[in-house]
Amino acid sequence: MVRYLLALSVLMASLTTAQEAVDWSSIVEKVMPAVVTIVSADEKDIVQGSGFIISSDGKIVTNFHVVAGKRNILARRSDGSFLVIKGILASDKANDLAILQAEGRNLPFVLLGNSDKAKVGEAICVIGSPMLLEGMVSAGIISAVRKLRDGRKLLQITAPISKGNSGSPVFNRKGEVIGVASFALSEGQNLNFAVPSNAVKVLLKRLGITFNPLPPSPTLEERLERAYREAIQAAQKIEDAQARSLALRDIAEAMVKVGQFDLAIQVAQKIEDALDRSWALKDIAEAMAEAGQFNLAQQVAQKIEDARDRSLVLRFIAEAMAKAGQFDLAIQVAQKIERALARSFALREIAEVMAKVGQRERANQVFQLALQAAQKIEDALDRSFALRLIAETMAKTGQFDLALQVAQKIEDALDRFWALKDIAEAMAKAGQFDLAVQVAQKIENASPRSSAFKDIAEAMAKAGQFDLAVQVAQRIEEAWIRSLALRDIAAVIARTGQFDLALQVAQKIENASPRSSAFKDIAEAMAKAGQFDLAIQVAQKIEDARVLSFALRFIAEVMAKVGQIERAVEVAEMIDEPVVRLQALAAIIAVKREAEKKKERGRSGG
């Protein structure tokens, strides 16, 4: 007997746990609009119960005893609105069921499940209006399926049924109605019963209504096709021509995103506004090129009426071909570009891709084609800009002599100076520091010259030539750029652990803001190396209060990570900025807790 009771208690505990683990919130939110409160009245009394809508045209299921003999019936929805009940369509006194017909269209409704598949122990929830408390949810399980002598079935449930719950839907975890709450026996026990949903289906058959399972939901592609048709119809009804063109362009762009290029082209060709049509076709052609459909992309590009847009698209296609390794085709397409500027850009980018994959000789040939195109550009500023880009690209691919030759052809002085600056930077990155300095000295304008020397100095520092880097930095004329260069050099030196040298460089910085930044970088590098006292001393040299706060926060966090929690807290308390101090203390606490968890796991063997 004891073992039986123990097993029973374990079973009941497991059922309770299963019940508590179910989160009904999403199902309740979905079905609540279809649950109603039923109020019926005659000359003698008023009866209140619950019900639920099972069709969009207003068929409602409730208990027979809620509406029996009543002339006036109303259904109140969860949003507070009322549905007028036109009449009782069918009733089943034995099963205590009634089907009402309400006035309404496009109403929310719930699905009837198969109650024969309901299992003992299955989780359920009931939504109803006990004691006029509308929308009340109670959860439980099916505790038994009772078969009556006349063959009828009842579902016994643990969810409470109170006065006013009569007619409430009983939902399974799929959100289907598998029962209709009917009555409760409370003499000594709380026994609650629901009529199976299949009894509702039998009653519906009497009305000639068969509730078959819903057809499967349309696929995403089917939804897209329907949305496309509706969008086209809506766009064609727009009276304003400009607005209509914009709508069609948006539709074409949407179809491009899902790769339906044929449909996109059809839509684009319906666009009346020439500019919108050109832009739509441009987007389609570019998407095709990205998808590797180069021939189709070219065909679409040729449909573009505007020469500028057509040139831009052909440039994009040529570049995509080059990235795909189709260099011959890319060059052919580039050569078809009408506008010299776009043709020059396309050929330059093809040459750059060729150089990157090791085809230097062919790249040089294409660079020459790009130069020829650039020299045909009529506008002087556009021509200078195109030549500047060619010179910069040549330098990036290591063609320094050619790059210098092109730079000398640039008419606009500023473009020429910036081209020389980029060439000097490329030389420095390649380790050709002497050549880089020589080129930088040829720059006549102070701003690009200063920028060139900064790039060279930083490249020298990264190569470990710190003394030379400082010397070059000190040749920079513009004080702000000089300060930035020295800041970056100091940071590079600090990362190598040469803190004294890094401090010497930082102290040469004239401008306060980059100087504060340099001291911050040095202090953080010291902290990473475990030199906390020195890190704090250097941090104290920082003039900018906010930068100082960030430096101290970094030091405190590193201290915490190596187990120096108390010292980390002391450093955090030195921070003036309240928010940064909070961040530091929060980080320290997080590190401390994680360390305690690891220690606890170690003790427990986990």
Q: State the catalytic residues.
A: 65, 96, 166
**How many whole angstroms separate alpha carbon 314 and alpha carbon 345?**
11
* DSSP three-state, residue 572: helix
Output the DSSP codes for 58-112. -EEEE-HHHHTT-SEEEEE-TTS-EEEEEEEEEEETTTTEEEEEES-SS-----B
Write out 199-254 in H/E/C secondary structure.
HHHHHHHHCCCCCCCCCCCCCHHHHHHHHHHHHHHHHHCCCCHHHHHHHHHHHHHH
* Kind plus residue range of the DSSP H or E element containing 310: helix 307-323
Tokens at 536, concatenated = 């704090």
CB burial of 17-38 (b: ≥16 within 10 Å; e: otherwise) equals eebeeeebeebbeebbebbbbb
**How many whole angstroms separate alpha carbon 512 and alpha carbon 181?**
78
**Nearest alpha carbon to residue 197 among 145, 162, 160, 149:** 145
Q: Beta 35-41 vs 46-53: how paired, if at all? A: antiparallel
501 CB-near residues (< 8 Å, 6+ apart): 466, 493
* CA 261 to chain CA centroid, nearest Å: 26
